[in-house]
Amino acid sequence: MIPITQTRIGQDGNCFAACIASILEIPLAAVPEFSGEGYEFFDAVNGFLARYGLYYYVVGADDPDIEHVFRGGDTYHTVEGISPRGGPHACVGLNGRIVHDPHPQDGTGRGLNVVENYGLFGSRMTTGVYQD
């Protein structure tokens, strides 16, 4: 993980894209602008991540099974919720804890006041088909 700072803040901020860039260790400019809601958003994110053999899915912070994911070894993910500035925000997490806030250090608050979700990345099989 290479910490990357978002370049836009506020309602049109790009914190989520900065988190993806940080986790994938790629330039922020290489991550597209994800927009929309629901399936439209997930389709765009997963379409982009497919080239890396990954997919993205969200688990609620109150899901009791999430601790099993984090016990299996170092797992980078997003941590999503409400920022100290009052709006939705995303940070990079490692095993359930925030390790990088992409918001610029401008004195308005860092991290999250409320954690709502964890955004997890799964691996897609890119060759062959697994058969049991």
For residue 92, what are the domain limits? Answer: 15-123
What pLDDT, on the 0 to 100 scale, is given for residue 129? Answer: 55
55-110 pLDDT, tens per residue? 999 999 999 988 888 887 899 999 999 999 999 999 999 999 999 999 998 777 78
12-27 pLDDT, tens per residue? 899 999 999 999 999 9
Domain for residue 129, yes or no? no
Number of domains in the chain: 1
With 0-12 / 13-18 / 19 or more C-beta atoms within 10 angstroms meaning exposed / middle / buried, residue 52 is: middle
Domain for residue 4, yes or no? no
Quick check: 100 and 68 in contact, CB under 8 A? no
Domain for residue 2, yes or no? no
Domain for residue 3, yes or no? no
Domain for residue 131, yes or no? no
Domain for residue 115, yes or no? yes
Task: Flag whether the pTM goes above 0.75.
Answer: yes
Domain for residue 8, yes or no? no
> And the tokens for 64?
């009791």
Domain for residue 50, yes or no? yes
